A and B are shown apart, each in its own frame.
Chain A
Amino acid sequence: MTQSVVVQVGQCGNQVGCRFWDLALREHAAVNKKGIYDEALSSFFRNVDTRNGDKGPDIYKGKICSLKARALLIDMEEGVVNEILQGPLRDVFDSKQLITDVSGSGNNWAVGHKIYGCQYRENIVEKLRKTAEHCDCLQCFFIIHSMGGGTGSGLGTYVLNLLEEEFPEVYRFVTSVYPSGEDDVITSPYNSVLAMKELNEHADCVLPIENESLFEIVNKIHQMINSGKLGSTVKQNSLVTSSAGNAKTLQEKPFDAMNNIVANLLLNLTSSARFEGSLNMDLNEISMNLVPFPRLHYLVSSLTPLYTLADVNVPSRRLDQMFSDAFSRDHQLIQADPKHSLYLACALLVRGNVQVSDLRRNIERLKPSLHFVSWNQEGWKTGLCSVPPVGHSHSLLALANNTCVKPTFIELKDRFMKLYKKKAHLHHYLQIDGMEQSCFSEAISSLSDLIEEYNELDATKGGPRIDPSRLKIAV
């Protein structure tokens, strides 16, 4: 069994990360009734003997003593991390896993990347090494951050670089929260585009997320729960909606519910690697199957169902509805419509009481309405994990490598150009040591190239019209 390490950077990264650890603990608690430290737990948690204080040795088998998250929490302000350390998760992290500072990055990518990057480099590398040493077989780093700010964006991508240098064999999955158009950080386009270049070059897979989509999804859930229109009782304790780890109500902390969704994304992504199933889908398989060309590694994700029904014996129709929803516009985690764009590849990871025939039936049903690139007409990767998420009898995670990410990138480029043409706020960046105009021009050029690749795919629908002729053999 392999281990993964989560690196959460910046305010957004740490808030999402916090929700992830809360949900992960609850998921394992629901499955692991005997309190034995098993392989599934070890993928994200260490088992430490803390009877003699924090420096106890790791226990690899037997009863759970004290679980410690395999995580690194990085923030250049103290507020968020402190809140985590005072909350119910305080025992899951230890001081050796934190890197904090006081003044923050001022929403400036250059401050995060160049200044703090250099300053904390050794510290970060040392702590990463330590976490890696505790792993028997480290497979993947999950980076969680936002693109629009300074720390998550700048320092986050600096860490991404570091990971490639220090651990080239380990996969780097990045969950990036992209800023919306009405983002209150004026320089978010700069930060995002500068970060995009790093993601283009150093990430294995990127899962872009947009707050608008999360917000719409959360609203939908609450409408459904409160409308009472559903015949059956809707379970309230589904992992998607609950935020029992935090005492405050939804009104005061709308981000909690949104962050839950992202946390669920990560849980579902790793479920087949942690739990058994009839067709396992490991993390390295995701990268292998969904990334046909190295730079096209942006995966649009969708999670269904969003709420749970009390029916345990789910009739086929509801199951099929789950599959249909996964392809609908409103279930995507970015503002995109994959159905009307071109698919390069698609992965379906099903959890719970779903069999291969259900999977096949739905693929056959949905295929005609989807456009796949000519050289990958049957581009489906499927996985079946027997363990469902808490509060659900089954669930589906769909990951699509689809040209529908293009509009997000084009908008980002437009917002960037609006500021850049007027050289607005540039001086904040250029005054940082190591930053030059060329950083900006290279970044926007990298983004433009990426958009161009997607354009070409859309234009030619991915290949020559005629099937290429086969090799001829002399008889």
Chain B
Amino acid sequence: MSIVTVQLGQCGNQIGHEVFNVLCSDIRGTHGLCSKKENESYHDSCRERFFCEQESGVPVARAVLVDMEPKVISQALSTAARSGHWKYSSHSHFCQKQGSGNNWANGYSVHGPRHKEAIMNLVQKEAEKCERLGGFFTIMSMAGGTGSGLGAFVTQCLRDAFPTSFILNHLIWPYGTGEVIVQNYNSVLTLSHLYQSSDALLVHENDVIHKICAQLMNIKQISFRDVNQVIAHQLGSVFQPTHTAGGGSGYSRNPLGDLMETLVPHPEFRMLGLRNIPQMPENSLAYSTFSWPGLLKHLRQMLIANAQMEEGIDWQVRPPHPGSCTPSTNKPLHFNTSIANLVILRGKDVHGVDLGSFRDPSLYTSWLNPQDAFSAWKTPRAFNKYEKSASLVSNSQFLLKPLDSIVGKAWNMFASKAYLHQYTKFGIQEEDFLDCFTTLEQVISSYTNL
């Protein structure tokens, strides 16, 4: 099954480009460390999922590029074409001349309706090129105007036009100390709207990735390109082909569906966090070896202690006493309760790995059957030059604190009515804001009481 990617706004288009780069370079690499047959199977599965063939032989990304101003898209198109290894279709982009001005209301209420037909036509065409449509993957930031506002509108349109397809929104949360002053307003509006129409929100926070770049990747002068490449690597580690648990011998054919089924058992809980280890500079890869037990021990503790990367993990945090039905108020502080977890393992000797520690019921909330709460996907084919790589996609309290912080700051600003005139002039009124705050407070409350 194929996934259609919709890249929205500057951030969405910059990241989308890096994602296709990573996917393509991974399948071109000979570091599969597995049998030729396995490698070919992986290769074919990836191509089917993300690229379609053209006569020229250069794979064409299954993507629709949307932005309200032209600079970023033209860069993405030309850089991809120059690589010679893959490209975007020349008919799959939509842009206008003037951006959304960091104004969610402008993106949602003005640009959305105005350009709905044109954008949905492009999406329809890409969907039709797929033999079987596996769903949509949208990439956007929450802080600006196009990715956030137009992105929310487009997601709604996708839901209306493809009611039975899966929609996964990849969201970038901005740096806490501003990239955009009204980022908290834009974020609140985006999250509350996406919660209605999307199936799940997969989140990356700029602050976290920045730290990974600084401390793990040893990059001195970190650019957005560096950040985007780490994000792309992490996304690739989730979406490249794997064998699902009961999937038989071939590669999984329905990645988005499988993801939703395992991770989103309840519509109130849709926020997914992502962790990937190990992460290191490319030139250190050759000198490092890892063991699966070691990696999994770290990954599990990262989950429990809500660590953002494999350095600085708090090993003191323990799950509550097993067997006891602990109400949430009595749970040990800083313990990260999960609803559902998915671990993805790629690389050497993957088949014998013991994942029992992740099935421990004390990791999970009490109202779900722990058997249903954990899944694992594996492939012996190594990813992106890492001999062994483990990813965790988690529906847990990972994002509770950041979400609470964003809502708090937005509320603080809202109480003083600052910047509201910029939104009301495009049709988003105070009541609309209040509705959004209510929705999110509800989400916060639900996650807090796990």
Give every chain B residue within 8 A of A473 (Cβ-Cβ).
Answer: 438, 441-442, 445
Residues facing A in B409-427 (CB within 8 A) are 409, 411-413, 415-419, 421-422
Q: Give per-residue flags for B1-19: 1 if the beta carbon is below 8 A from chain A beta carbons, else 0.
A: 0000000001000100000
Cross-chain contact B223 with A288 (CB below 8 angstroms): no
Given contacts A355-B223, A473-B438, A473-B445, contact A375 B413 (CB under 8 A): yes
Interface size on A, residues (CB 8 A): 50
Q: For B69, what are the chain A residues with a Cβ–Cβ distance below 8 Å?
A: 1-2, 280, 282
* Contact across chains for A376 and B101 when beta carbons are under 8 A apart: no
Interface-lining segment among A70-78, A111-119, A193-201, A356-364: A356-364
Interface-centre pick from A290, A382, A384 (highest chain B CB count, 10 A): A382
Answer yes or no: A434 CB below 8 A from chain B CBs.
no
Instruction: Pick the interface stretch among A84-92, A125-133, A460-468.
Output: A460-468
Give, as a whole number of angstroms, the nearest-CB distance from B173 to chain A.
13
Q: In the complex, what distance in Å separates the CA atom of A375 from the CA atom of B414?
A: 8
Is A15's beta carbon under 8 Å from chain B? no
Partner pick for A467 among B14, B101, B412, B442, CB 8 A cutoff: B412
Is A139's CB within 8 Å of the partner chain B?
yes
**Is B438 a contact of A471 with CB atoms below 8 Å?**
yes
Identify which of A278, A287, A377 contacts B225 (C-beta below 8 A).
A278
Q: In the complex where A356-B227, A471-B438, A473-B442 touch, is A462 in contact with B416 (Cβ < 8 A)?
A: yes
Contacts across chains A and B counted by CB atoms under 8 Å: 144
Interface size on B (CB < 8 Å)? 54
The reply to whether B179 and A381 form a contact with Cβ atoms under 8 Å apart is yes
Q: Which of B43-51, B70-78, B232-240 lies at the binding interface?
A: B70-78
Candidates A291, A360, A374, A463; contact of B177 at CB < 8 Å = A360
Please give, as numbers and ranges, the residues of chain A lying within 8 Å of B421 by CB-CB distance.
293-294
Residue A396 at the chain B interface, CB threshold 8 Å: no
Of A137, A282, A345, A462, most B-chain CB atoms within 10 Å: A282
A475 to B447, CA, bound (A): 11
CA distance A137 to B68 in the complex (A): 12
Closest to B175 in A: A360
The answer to whether B437 touches A381 (Cβ under 8 A) is no
Min CB–CB distance B180 → chain A (angstroms) = 6
> How far, in Å, is A431 (CB) from chain B's closest CB?
39
Distance, CA A336 to CA B409, complexed state (A): 29
Determine if B192 is an interface residue (Cβ-Cβ < 8 Å). Answer: no
B222 within 8 A of A: yes
Whole-angstrom CA separation of A373 from B418 in the bound complex:
11
A288 to B412, alpha carbons, bound, how many Å? 18
- Asked whether any CB of chain B lies closer than 8 Å to the CB of A436, the reply is no
Known: A276-B71, A276-B72, A279-B10. 13 other contacts (CB 8 A): A280-B72, A284-B98, A284-B99, A289-B181, A289-B182, A292-B419, A293-B417, A355-B221, A355-B222, A356-B222, A357-B210, A375-B412, A376-B181
- Contacts from B to A (Cβ < 8 Å): 10, 14, 69-72, 75, 97-103, 145, 175-182, 210, 213-214, 219-225, 227, 407-409, 411-413, 415-419, 421-422, 434, 437-438, 441-442, 445, 449
Q: List 30 A-B contacts (CB under 8 A).
A: A1-B97, A276-B71, A278-B223, A279-B10, A280-B72, A282-B98, A282-B99, A284-B101, A284-B103, A288-B419, A288-B422, A289-B181, A291-B422, A293-B418, A355-B224, A357-B214, A357-B220, A367-B177, A374-B416, A375-B416, A375-B418, A376-B181, A377-B409, A380-B177, A380-B178, A462-B416, A467-B412, A470-B411, A471-B438, A472-B441
